[in-house]
């Protein structure tokens, strides 16, 4: 049962990954890649344990140049294809015509609207083609993720299996793996960006700040999700 594996502790990423893939009955399981250091770790694990897994990504239209550089580096390192999903053109055009380019800073409602158009709708569209999906989420990434489980049933996306292999990993474990395996990490990570999203909504953090303090920094911590991981 999903519940029994979800409640275990001290599981290895490999155990979570392989067990989750067994639960995701069907031919297509996708890795949702935002090109963070965590996602690179998961992709490296997938090349070893499940090389058939599809990698997909959402191009919001406002990603950092450095993020695109990581995508290209992945293509070179692993010779993999990435399935890209983009926002619906008409919805995006209407948003920018009616509210301008920075409406997301005016209210939480506006920010959620922008995230929905640029991220959530493309993800929903992508996941309709999958039986399960894999993420690089970790409990250590902030208050909004501290109840995360290694393997979950994603009720928001038709009860497909959601697999979070790195759920128990610390920052130190992630970076030790990335360094040992020479992963092509985003240059912004070395400039104080532990969490990287769209360029206008991401900043470097100060020493001692929460790992996600640089995401939507004008909002309260409990709001710092874009809706991709609805629970």
Q: Which residues face 24 on adjacent strands?
A: none
Q: Where are the alpha helices (DSSP H) in the chain?
A: 2-6, 13-23, 37-49, 65-78, 89-99, 108-115, 121-127, 171-180
Longest alpha-carbon distance in the chain: 50
Sequence-distant (≥ 6) Cβ neighbours of residue 132 within 8 angstroms: 20, 21, 23, 24, 26, 29, 30, 160, 161, 162, 163
- Catalytic site includes residue 198: no
Q: Which of 33, 114, 201, 226 is catalytic?
A: 226
φ/ψ (deg, to 5) at 204 = -70, 150
**65 to 139, 170, 187, 204, 229: CA distances (angstroms):** 28, 27, 10, 15, 24
- Of 102, 46, 120, which Cα lies nearest the Cα of 78? 46
| Contact by Cβ (8 Å): 150, 167 | yes
Catalytic machinery residues: 226
């Amino acid at each position: 049962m999903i519940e029994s594996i979800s409640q275990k502790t001290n599981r290895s990423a490999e155990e979570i990954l392989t067990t989750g893939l067994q639960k995701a009955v069907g031919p297509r399981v996708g890795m949702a890649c935002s090109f963070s250091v965590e996602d690179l770790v998961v992709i490296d694990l997938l090349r070893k344990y499940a090389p058939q897994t599809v990698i997909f990504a959402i191009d919001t239209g406002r990603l950092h140049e450095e993020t695109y550089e990581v995508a290209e580096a992945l293509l070179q390192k692993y010779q993999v294809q990435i399935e890209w999903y983009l926002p619906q053109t008409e919805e995006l055009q209407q948003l920018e015509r009616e509210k301008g380019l920075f409406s997301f800073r005016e209210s939480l409602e506006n920010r959620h609207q922008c995230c929905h158009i640029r991220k959530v709708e493309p993800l929903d569209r992508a996941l309709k083609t999958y039986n399960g999906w894999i993420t690089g989420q970790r409990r250590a990434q902030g208050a909004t993720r501290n109840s995360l489980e290694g393997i979950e049933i994603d009720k928001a996306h038709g009860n497909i299996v959601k697999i979070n292999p790195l759920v128990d990993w610390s920052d130190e474990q992630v970076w030790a793996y990335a360094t040992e395996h020479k992963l092509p990490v985003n240059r912004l990570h070395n400039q104080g960006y532990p969490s990287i999203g769209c360029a206008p909504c991401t900043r470097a953090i100060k020493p001692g700040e929460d790992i996600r303090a640089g995401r939507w920094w004008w909002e309260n911590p409990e709001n710092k999700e874009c809706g991709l991981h609805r629970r």
